[in-house]
Chain A
Amino acid sequence: MTANIARGSLPSTARKPWGRFSSLSPSWVFALPALLVYAAVVLYPSLAGMVYAFTDWSGIGEDKSFVGLANLTAMLHDEQAMGSIGNTLLLTVTIVAVQNGVGLLLALGVHVKLRSRAVLRVVFFAPVVVSPVMVAFLWKYIYNPDPAAGLNGLLGTHIDWLGDPSLALWSIAGTVVWQYAGYSMVIFLAGLEGIPPELHEAAMIDGAGTWQRFRYVTWPLLAPSLTINLMLSTIGGLKLFDQVFAATNGGPGYATETLSTVLYKQAFVFGKFGYSTAIALVLALFVAAVSMVQLYYLRNREVAQ
């Protein structure tokens, strides 16, 4: 609309408010305060903290010495840390697949013209706004092993949801999906709302059925939403901490230990701050690498609308 015209004509007609700074793009000037704050409270502490990954600092006291890569090699021989990587990956893959699958179905469901859809959208999104720790505590009650209580009472089963080492990890994945499926739903819904109805009309005139319209119109145009959803849920899964910590604290045994809970315990329970920082560093690099690869592939499959 007029925005384009205005933007195009601005440099020639506008009184130059920036004087001799006119060669400097205003966007940078505006970003500067934010960048400074970001550098001071995020970048600098993170980089400064990284140094500890190469020391044997206990977290308290002045006593520390440089140990080179010893913490990283120790990690390779640490059964608990390596086991937690397996758990973290299992949790992440499960959460990414199920959360987005459920989120997509919910989005498609509340996108159709239903009288109650506004209410349903709120209901499905509601768990997202609750603190993850609260959700984990609530689910601890729902997962009560007592056959007369909680989920067992509802299903008539006698399952030890959080106490059985082979099941606990999946139970936690269940709470995460329950909480965040609504989040995926909202993002998919925004994608769905952005698809022009003309395309569906044209497809219908061409004789496309419901499935074909989803497959050839909706699904390709949802690509940007999918990119965002997959990335957010992957990052969320890889750094999962709150729900595990509150629900099982890594137990029973080490069955639900994730990289985040292991690094927490190394720092604050065992007093090995240096080693814990090394694990954190590996986790951060891993998350960055996975997100970058994911972003590259997913961006490529996005189509222009």
Chain B
Amino acid sequence: MTDLREARMSRAQFFRMMGGLAAAAAATAACSTKPQTTTAQGQQTATQLKFVGVADQKAAMDQLVAAYKQVKPGVSLTTTFAPTDQVQTSVRTQLGAGNAPDLHVVYPGDGSAMSMSQIAKAGLLADLSDQAWTQTIPTGFKPAFQNDGKTYMYSAGSSVIGAVYNTKAFQKAGIDAPPTTWTEFLAVCDKLKKAGITPIALGAQTPWVTQLITYALVPSTVYAKDPTFDDKQRAGQTSFAQSGWRQAMEMYLELQKRGFFNDNPNGTTFEQQTSMVATGKAAMAIQVSAVLPDFRKSATSPSDLSMFPVPGADSADQVWIPAGVVVGLGASAKGKNLAEAKAFIDFLGKQENINLWAKAISAIPLTQDASSTIDPAVQSFLPFTKDRAVPFMDQRWPNAEVQPVHFAVVQELLAGKIKIDDALKKMDEAYAK
């Protein structure tokens, strides 16, 4: 054991060792800089584009990337997908460091850290306004796509929030038609409860799930009465506390008070919520239509599941619904292959590709032609989309703090830790930041 201490190293040995280390380091460095895209000199090598997206986009993107390969063999697209939180962390960091992927996920409107407005304002999104498809964006959806009149985001369509329900569970409880007023809705829940079925599964441990019931009700309690609420709120003329938001939260808690939710919603996750409805243990879940595929995956037969608009008012013509543009993508303004990245978005803007993407996530296509299909489960929402639909509320909020505060106060309300007054006050404070 003593030889190590006594061991002497000649200068030559020492330098050989150091040389070896240096060579190893150089080799590592060389490896890490290898995947360079060639634009200037390399016509023979393919242009490589990178896309980073959220998990919900995978099904559609996989098909479209494959299709693009047929159209443009010279361009190869590598895609990575991750859950929302992780994408938000990694893409924002890359944007901040100036090495964002050529194409990346963008959330519609304003109000979140990766939203179109916030990134466009920092000058990091390429202007897409010269592409043909941008001319056909329906007026109501423009705020989701545009900042200062320029289009910065692509999205294939819109999704709705409503009740995903298990048709077999409804049959079992003797319910033949979905409710069209709030009173009927409560009666349906009551019937289900008496039949021994949990009326509404709520997975409020997953933060974004907490907001869906308020989002489903607020169009009827706020926007049906005043469609210009967002503008007035921005101008400081009204607030959450002074509006129908209070009524929506009261209705939310009434559902809890009457025992229409599963036990311990704050400890229940989205995945558990999904499986409760898919297996018929619970009859419905207030959810966004984009997750219908998740519900269908866990059901014995996909046709067991359908959707209806949540009636947030007591007369059917006062019922409005939330319909928001689905998460999209944009091109990095500072990308090396900007022209190719924009060309890919132009490809996505073709009607058949809008149709394809929309179909993969049960969305309503942005623009429609004869070949557009609409998921039968969301058919009942179509009469509303014209003039009784509002974008998801956060898309018009001025900063990224209101939404997480909404998540937190709903959890605290469900836990009985705070009153509705406190909840709305906290949201108003976050809005004013």
| Interface residue ranges, A against B (CB under 8 Å) | 1-3, 6-7, 10, 14-15, 17, 19, 33, 58-63, 140, 143-147, 158, 160-165, 248-254, 264-265, 268-271, 273
Contact = CB atoms under 8 A, between A and B. Distances in A.
A6 B400 contact: no
A251 B122 contact: no
A268 B92 contact: yes
Contacts of A251: 205, 207, 266, 407-408, 411
A60 B272 contact: no
B230 interface: no
Contact of A63 (B88, B122, B269, B415): B122
A71 B430 CA distance: 17
15 contacts: A1-B1, A14-B8, A17-B14, A33-B21, A58-B122, A59-B93, A61-B122, A145-B268, A146-B263, A163-B266, A248-B205, A252-B205, A253-B412, A268-B88, A269-B88
B38 interface: no
A253 B417 contact: yes
A3 B409 CA distance: 67
Contacts of B34: none
B9 A17 contact: yes
Question: In the complex, which range does the number of interface residues on chain B fall in?
Answer: 35 or more
A270 B92 contact: no
Given A268-B113, A269-B404, 11 more contacts: A1-B2, A59-B113, A60-B92, A62-B122, A251-B407, A252-B205, A252-B408, A252-B412, A253-B411, A254-B408, A270-B399
Contact of B96 (A7, A60, A164, A249): A60
Nearest to B265: A163
A176 to B, nearest CB: 19
A265 B404 contact: yes
Contact of A269 (B14, B400, B414): B400
A162 B206 CA distance: 11
B119 A60 contact: yes
Q: Is the interface of A mostly helix, strand, loop or mixed?
A: loop
Interface of B: 1-2, 5-6, 8-11, 14, 21, 85, 88-89, 92-93, 95-96, 112-113, 118-119, 121-124, 204-205, 207, 263-269, 272, 399-401, 404, 407-409, 411-412, 414-415, 417-418
A60 B207 CA distance: 25
A163 B415 CA distance: 8
Closest 10 CB pairs of A and B: A163-B267, A61-B122, A163-B266, A145-B264, A145-B267, A253-B412, A160-B264, A252-B411, A160-B267, A271-B113
Given A145-B267, A163-B415, A10 B89 contact: no
Nearest to A162: B267
B266 A164 contact: yes
Contacts of B409: 253
A114 to B, nearest CB: 31
B29 to A, nearest CB: 13
A230 B407 CA distance: 36
Contact of B267 (A7, A164, A250, A265): A164
Given A163-B265, A265-B404, A270-B401, A252 B96 contact: no
Contacts of A10: 6
Nearest to B276: A146
